[in-house]
Amino acid sequence: MNVARRTGASARTLALTKAQEAVALRDAERIKREKQLEATLADYYQAQGEVERIRVEADVAVAPFEATIREAVRSLDRLGETRAGIVGLTGLSLPRVRDYLSEIASPMPVPDAPPASMPSVGPWD
What average pLDDT score do residues 55-69 get? 97
What pLDDT shows up at residue 112? 39
Element (H, E) at 53: helix 9-78
- In a domain, residue 69? The reply is yes
- In a domain, residue 122? The reply is no
What pLDDT shows up at residue 9? 84
- Find the Cα–Cα–Cα–Cα dihedral 86, 91, 95, 101, rounded to 10°: -40
- In a domain, residue 58? The reply is yes
What average pLDDT score do residues 26-53 get? 97
pLDDT exceeds cutoff 50 at 28? yes
- In a domain, residue 112? The reply is no
What average pLDDT score do residues 98-120 get? 56
- In a domain, residue 82? The reply is yes
Q: Are 69 and 39 in contact (CB under 8 A)?
A: no
pLDDT top residue among 5 and 16: 16
- In a domain, residue 121? The reply is no
Range of the domain at 48: 23-105
pLDDT exceeds cutoff 50 at 108? no
Condensed to tens digits (0 to 9), the pLDDT of residues 79-105 reads 999 999 999 999 999 999 999 999 764
Based on the structure, what is the number of domains in the chain?
A: 1
What average pLDDT score do residues 60-89 get? 97
- In a domain, residue 115? The reply is no
Mean predicted lDDT score pLDDT of the chain: 85
- In a domain, residue 34? The reply is yes
